[in-house]
Amino acid sequence: MLTNKETAPLPSAPSRFVDGCGRTIRYLRLSVTDRCDLRCRYCMAERPTFLPKQDILTLEELYRISCLFVSHGIETIRITGGEPLVRKNLMELLRALGGLLDASAHCASLKSLTLTSNGTQLERYAEELFDCGIRRVNVSLDSLDSETFSHLTRGGSLAIVQAGIDAALKAGLQVKINCVALAGTNVCEQEVDRLLSWCGEKGCDLTFIEVMPMGDIGNEKRLDQFYPLTELRRSIAQRWTLEQTAYRSGGPARYTRCAEMGQNIGFISPLTENFCDGCTRVRVTCTGMLYPCLGQESGGDLRELLRAPQRDGMRSDSALSDRIASVITKKTRGHDFVIDGSERAGVSRTMNATGG
Ligand code: SAM
Ligand code: SF4
């Protein structure tokens, strides 16, 4: 249980975190677990080894880190994983984080609390998520063909995810669909057009993502999976009207408005077009590693300080703040991802362990 002490109002706002390129950090992706009830072929191996439970931050530790970031001007927290909704008692954390959304109660306050999910548990949790103050969720959906979906996720049920998305929309959540473009699987005209039409009918924006070389995914080959989004965008533009839009999400996606859908289509293309310049995001893994960039190995351990003995029973956040600030100054202008014939991974950790 998160106690009153842990959910106390934030202290007055100290300085903001600024990286070595002068960018003020405004967005935290917080991973709450590396575990998942699916096994997407581009994300993890068929039989992954999950982290020992004692290495995973407790809900109290996750909340403390969040408060610290918010007190330093973080405006958006996106909860992710693994699959965040499989984390036991996650709603307790979300309810406490929802309390940071109330600007009147705190000197520094959170503007947006969001979640990325595979959708399998959304039917159960959608209303509670709304109740916690969440208004937008991203849901991963790589195919509307149930066989392809089951193949890509190694056994997932498309019907369950679709029911989850419907429940989220019914609960009042805005849903954005994430789709990883995979060569020879979901990038044919039929699949893509079906997804665009379906998202239009549901009123969901859609973001395509280029597969990134992260970690060991067993027998799957990155080079076989990779499909350039420059190509996908060209192909979509031949059949759909893509209009310019000023819409931005503070990350590496570039958006276009699709006239027929009446929705935005985003493209995250780290390999073919690098849009890292304006990135103001950092990530904290479920073990408390802070990574200033998804595509770099360098990071800093926060768990060691979170679990360090406290002097006179008093909690001091200054050492933690100093470490965060120092790691963030090392945020580079862009990532180091490459997918080439050598099959080397851009970074050694998988996406589920990093918090995608
Ligand atoms: N389980 C949740 C989900 O699937 O939405 C949240 C975590 S998942 C790691 C976050 C996002 O990362 C998903 O949209 C997923 O498709 C994407 N992803 C995972 N591995 C990836 C990879 N190697 N390259 C690109 N995107 C990846
Ligand atoms: Fe699980 Fe999300 Fe990774 Fe798929 S992409 S295996 S749903 S963590």
For domain 27-354, the question of CATH label 1.10.10.920 is answered with no
Query: Which protein residue's CA is at the shortest distance from atom 25 of ligand 1?
Result: 211
Report whether pLDDT(115) > 60.
yes
pLDDT at 293: 82
What's the whole-model pTM score? 0.92
Residue 118 alpha carbon to ligand 2 centre in Å: 7
Confidence class for position 106, pLDDT limits 50, 70, 90: low
Higher pLDDT, 177 or 346: 177
Choose which residue among 43, 122, 179, 286 to substitute to test ligand 2 binding: the one with the highest number of ligand atoms within 8 A of its C-beta.
43
Q: Are 67 and 319 in contact (CB under 8 A)?
A: no
Pairing of strands 254-258, 263-268: antiparallel
**What percentage of the chain has pLDDT greater than the value 90?**
68
Q: What angle do CA 62, 34, 136 make, to 5 degrees?
A: 65
**Are the beta carbons of 199 and 205 closer than 8 angstroms?**
yes
Q: Which residue owns the Cα nearest ligand 2 atom 4?
A: 40
pLDDT band at residue 97, thresholds of 50, 70 and 90?
A: very high
The residue extents of the domains of the chain are: 27-354
Q: Which of 91-100, 137-146, 268-277 comes out lowest in average pLDDT?
A: 268-277
- Give the atom of ligand 1 at the shortest distance from the alpha carbon of 212: 24
Tell me the per-residue pLDDT of 26-50, one tens digit each, with 9 for 90 and over: 999 999 999 999 999 999 999 999 9
Average pLDDT, the chain: 88
Q: Ligand 1 — pocket residues by CB below 6 A? A: 36, 42-43, 80-83, 116-118, 140, 178, 180, 209, 211-212, 214, 351-352, 356
Whether the Cβ atoms of residue 253 and residue 266 lie closer than 8 Å to each other: yes
Residue 243 has pLDDT above 90, yes or no: yes
Tens of pLDDT, residue by residue over 245-277, are 988 876 778 899 999 999 999 999 877 776 677
Ligand 1 atom closest to the Cα of residue 215 is 23
The pLDDT of residue 107 is 58
pLDDT of residue 283: 94
Nearest to 210 by CA among 151, 266, 149: 266
